[in-house]
Amino acid sequence: MWRHEQTKEDVKMSQTTAKTWCLRLLPVLVFFISFVIYYYFYAILRSFGGPSKNLSSSKSLCGGWLTQKKWESLNFNISRQTQLFLKLEDFFWREHLSTLPLPYGIKGSELLLLKVLAISSNYHVPAKIENLGCRTCAVIGNGFAIKNSSLGSIINKHDVVIRLNDAPVRGYEEDVGNKTTMRFFYPESASYNPALHNDPDTLMVLVPFKQQDLRWLKEIIYDEKRVRKGFWKPPPQIWLGDVSKIRVLDPHFLLQTADKLLKILSSQKEKQVSVHPTTGILAVYVALNYCDVVHIAGFGYPSSNNPRQLIHYYGYDTMKSMKNSYHDLNHEAKALKKLEDSGAIFYLHPHL
């Protein structure tokens, strides 16, 4: 009898002890579950808001929320355009009836373009990129912010890497990578030998700001006498690039960058000096049209309060050289901030 009562008492004590341990373990269990949930969502948000340095594949950026098209949320009130370059059949006046001259249209430049496109008649992006279900793009600016960033390996993992003007790659691979899918340039920013800092299959994309830019390209292609007038800086008189890799960017993109993204066209009449988009902000707008995921690096200028501050990750140009610029850099910085806040673009490095 006594033994039976003792057994019952033991059971009760065991149950009490078990409950006590359960209560003690409950916070640990809750913490563990919370940690797992937090880590899971943190990993998603990291891929959504910017890749980590252990990014193994650009395709990891295309999952989940990133497959949703961001274009509609930008409220540009214009259709997304993925055909980037001018093509010869445009000049049979089926699609590109232009009422504006360069840099925002082709009016008055038709004959020059016909001659240029008759030789460099390839207007395609390579099929291995064109046929991707999700395209990841990195637009690499030339700003000092990318220096010592060690972003090279991350940049190289993107499907499309867009670089600007004559920014060097060799000697800076650790920070800026060495992959270049497209390089946007104009005559004054052209390198005489594109092979020095580009891949053999890099597309050399001319951004024509004025008729002289197209004339320079025509003279290079046809090996004609060079005309040096009309440039703010002497362009190369010899260009060693592959003509088959030349593309001419559709002025539609510069027009929409100025009108829809920066909204500067409406104020042009009020200013004595015209303000045009930089090649960098233009490349970002092109990437928004063409790519599903857009990352940027090397954008942003330092405070103009220090005229001696270096502005590029290479060379010795300072803020003083931007004094008479035809660009509104502060306005472009605000536009990039809006794109970042909307989730349309993501920076690969910390920035102001």
Q: Do 266 and 169 lie in a common domain? A: yes
**Same domain (yes/no): 144, 16:** no
Is 237 in the same domain as 295? yes
**Within a domain: residue 157?**
yes
Instruction: Tell me the pLDDT tens digit for each residue of 236-265.
Output: 999 999 999 999 999 999 999 999 999 988
Residue 49 pLDDT exceeds 50:
no
Q: What is the pLDDT of residue 43?
A: 40
Helix, strand or coil, per DSSP, at residue 318? strand
pLDDT tens readout for residues 94-138? 555 788 999 999 999 999 999 999 987 788 899 999 999 899 999
Q: Which distant-in-sequence residues (6+ apart) come within 8 Å of 98 by Cβ?
A: 105, 106, 107, 251
Rounded to an integer, what distance in angstroms lies between the CA atom of residue 186 and that of residue 84?
Answer: 16
- Measured between alpha carbons, how far is residue 42 from residues 46, 47, 114, 344, 346 in Å? 6, 9, 53, 19, 16
**Count of residues in the chain:** 352
Give the bridge partners for 162, in sequence order: 139, 182
Which of 63 and 314 is assigned the larger pLDDT?
A: 314
Does this model's pTM top 0.75? My answer is yes
Separation CA 313–CA 318 (nearest Å) = 11
d(CA 32, CA 45): 20
Return the closest-CA partner of residue 154 out of 65, 56, 67.
56
Same domain, 227 and 189: yes
* CATH number reported for the structural domain that contains residue 209 in this entry: 3.90.1480.20
Mean pLDDT for all residues in the chain = 82
* Number of structural domains found in the chain: 2
Shared domain check, 232 and 130: yes
Number of other CB atoms surrounding residue 318 within 10 Å: 16
78 and 106 assigned to the same domain: yes
Domain that residue 36 falls in: 1-49
In angstroms, how far apart are the furthest CA atoms of the chain?
119
Measured CA to CA, the distance from residue 321 to residue 308 in angstroms comes to 9
Average pLDDT of the residues in 318-340: 81
* In-domain check, residue 11: yes
First to last CA, the chain: 80
Backbone angles phi, psi at 183, to 5 degrees: -125, 115
Q: Which amino acid is at 323?
A: K
Would you say residue 231 lies in a domain? yes
Q: What is the arithmetic mean of pLDDT over 7-17? A: 55
Nearest alpha-carbon partner for 288 in 327, 260, 267, 328: 260
Residue 38 pLDDT exceeds 60: no
C-alpha dihedral sign at 188, 194, 197, 200:
positive
Residues 81 and 29 in one domain: no
149 with 264, same domain: the answer is yes
